[in-house]
Structure 1
Amino acid sequence: MSQQAGTPTPRTTTFNILFVCTGNTCRSPLAEGIARAELERRGWQHVQVASAGIAARPGDTASEFAVSVAARHGVPLDAHRSQPLTPELVSWADLVLVMGASHLSSVRRLGGEEKVLTLGDFASGADEGYSVRDPFGGPENLYESTYQELHRLIAGALDRLEPILHP
């Protein structure tokens, strides 16, 4: 169906989720990759995800074990490049999900007071300051455990969002 001249085209909107950890090389890239795969599986093309770190150096790759563990689950992280958390990213996001309670204040300082929660608290509907353990520097099996935990939490978070985001 064609638009008549002068009739505005409806604006396409997305729901934007930002995952935040410390260095943006382990937990938040895993969360972003898992969320992308889960959104694709659900057919939610109107939801975008990104990740950042409160102390990230721009351009770092995801950690070696994060890449290898994610790849085993069909989640590619080899193109990931870290980025620091900025006011612009916080403004872009409709929901900011952080990996630990220690990350909440950084997001709040950048204007995200009304849209930030820990991923664990959002997924469970609780307010307990649930943190996802940082696998940085640990063995590969710790990264696998982190992947499994993040997969469970992201599925729970998307389940909570389904009533308002299901296409």
Structure 2
Amino acid sequence: MHLLFVCTGNTCRSPLAEGIARRLIAERQLTDLTVSSAGTSAWPESPASDGSLLVSLEQGIDISAHRARQLSPEIVAAADVILAMGPHHLERAEALGGSGRSHMLTAFAGDEARAVSDPFGGDLDVYRATYRELEHEIGGILDAITRQRQG
């Protein structure tokens, strides 16, 4: 199963989410899950933002090799589950062929659908808060996937 995280520029939230998911997947030994990310308005090949890079490194996750990708029909088609950071990301993923597989990241595990806080332009504390929010939500998503597979 391939999970795709989508935000705007693919430099802040979605690279953080991808890094967090990779770590949690490895810790839980979910060997058949893969992850990637893309942005609805990405500048291709841009690195992760300094804030995302620094906060991920604080948590032992290295996203320094990340390069932004523009969301495309091909990227959408390759994903089994598309997890959007906000409503406009969800709309774009669905418009590119992701209907039925696209979800607000916060709603996938049964929580209320709401946008994930965008740390762009904020200080490190803002990025840390977004990291904690993503870590909590992604843990719930992996729990939900595990339950679905068992049931």
TM-score range, shorter chain: over 0.9
- Return the letter of the residue paired with 1:50: S
| Bigger Rg, structure 1 or 2 | 1
1:89-124 Cα shifts (integer Å, max 9, x gaps): 11110000000112111001100011001110113x
- Tell me which residue corresponds to 2:37: 51
Counting only pairs closer than 5 Å after superposition, residues 10-25 of structure 1 correspond to structure 2 as: 15-25=1-11
1:60-87 Cα shifts (integer Å, max 9, x gaps): 0000010000001011110100000010
Q: Counterpart of 2:41 in 1: which secondary structure?
A: coil
- Residue 164 of structure 1: how far off its partner (Å): 3.9
- Tell me which residue corresponds to 1:153: 137
Residues matched between the structures, number: 150
CA distance, structure 2, for counterparts of residue 59 and residue 159 of structure 1? 32
Q: Does 1:114 align with 2:114?
A: no
- Tell me which residue corresponds to 2:85: 99
Identity of aligned residues (%): 45
Structure 1 stretches of at least 4 aligned residues deviating more than 6 Å after TM superposition? none
**Where do 5+ consecutive residues of structure 2 fail to align?**
none
CA-atom RMSD, angstroms? 1.1
Counting only pairs closer than 5 Å after superposition, residues 7-86 of structure 1 correspond to structure 2 as: 15-86=1-72
**Where do 5+ consecutive residues of structure 1 fail to align?**
1-14
Which of 136, 139, 144 matches 2:123? 139
- Return the letter of the residue paired with 1:97: L
CA distance, structure 2, for counterparts of residue 98 and residue 73 of structure 1? 23
CA distance, structure 1, for counterparts of residue 138 and residue 27 of structure 2? 13
Q: Counterpart of 1:97 in 2: which secondary structure?
A: strand
Using the size of structure 1 for normalisation, the TM-score is 0.87
1:33-62 Cα shifts (integer Å, max 9, x gaps): 000000000001111000000000110000
CA distance, structure 2, for counterparts of residue 88 and residue 165 of structure 1? 26
Using the size of structure 2 for normalisation, the TM-score is 0.96
- Residue 163 of structure 1: how far off its partner (Å): 2.5
